[in-house]
Amino acid sequence: MNNYLKAVKENVCSICVDSNDKGICTLNSNESCAVEIYLPQIVELIHKNENEKLSDIQKKLKETICVECETQSESGVCYLREDANCSLDRYFSLIVETINRVDNGLT
């Protein structure tokens, strides 16, 4: 999992709006990032659905990971997603691309 985390930091955190100009996360100790919390589940989801369209993988993300996330309400609404403020949702295509690059030995 360390190679995936390293690649995510290099490719996703580096461009995330919540990182500084060195790509270091600026979230405080009271905040958490779903990309880090759920990375093993994200990698598993991408591997299980490697031949699916991105939109279908993103739908499964909501059905498997978002339902577990405390930020989402029982009715399925997530205020962070609504505000484009969840890095997992915001950068999902880049995350999928990054995981695929690790799997193909490209990063």
DSSP 12: I
- Minimum Å gap between C-beta 87 and ligand SF4 is 4
Smallest separation (angstroms) from ligand SF4 to the CB of 28: 11
> Residues touching ligand SF4: how many (CB under 6 A)?
23
Tell me if 19 contacts ligand SF4 by CB under 6 A: yes
- Phi, then psi, of 25 in degrees rounded to 5: -65, 135
Separation of alpha carbons 33 and 31, rounded Å = 7
Q: Which amino acid, residue 26?
A: T
Closest by CA to 35, choosing from 98, 79, 83, is 98
Task: Give backbone dihedrals phi and psi of 54, rounded to 5 degrees, phi first.
Answer: -55, -40
Looking at the Cβ atoms of 46 and 65, the one nearer to ligand SF4 is 65
Contacts to ligand SF4 from residues 39-98, by CB under 6 A? 65-66, 69, 71-72, 78, 80-81, 86-89
Question: Which residues sit at the interface with ligand SF4, rule CB under 6 A?
Answer: 12-13, 16, 18-19, 25, 27, 33-36, 65-66, 69, 71-72, 78, 80-81, 86-89
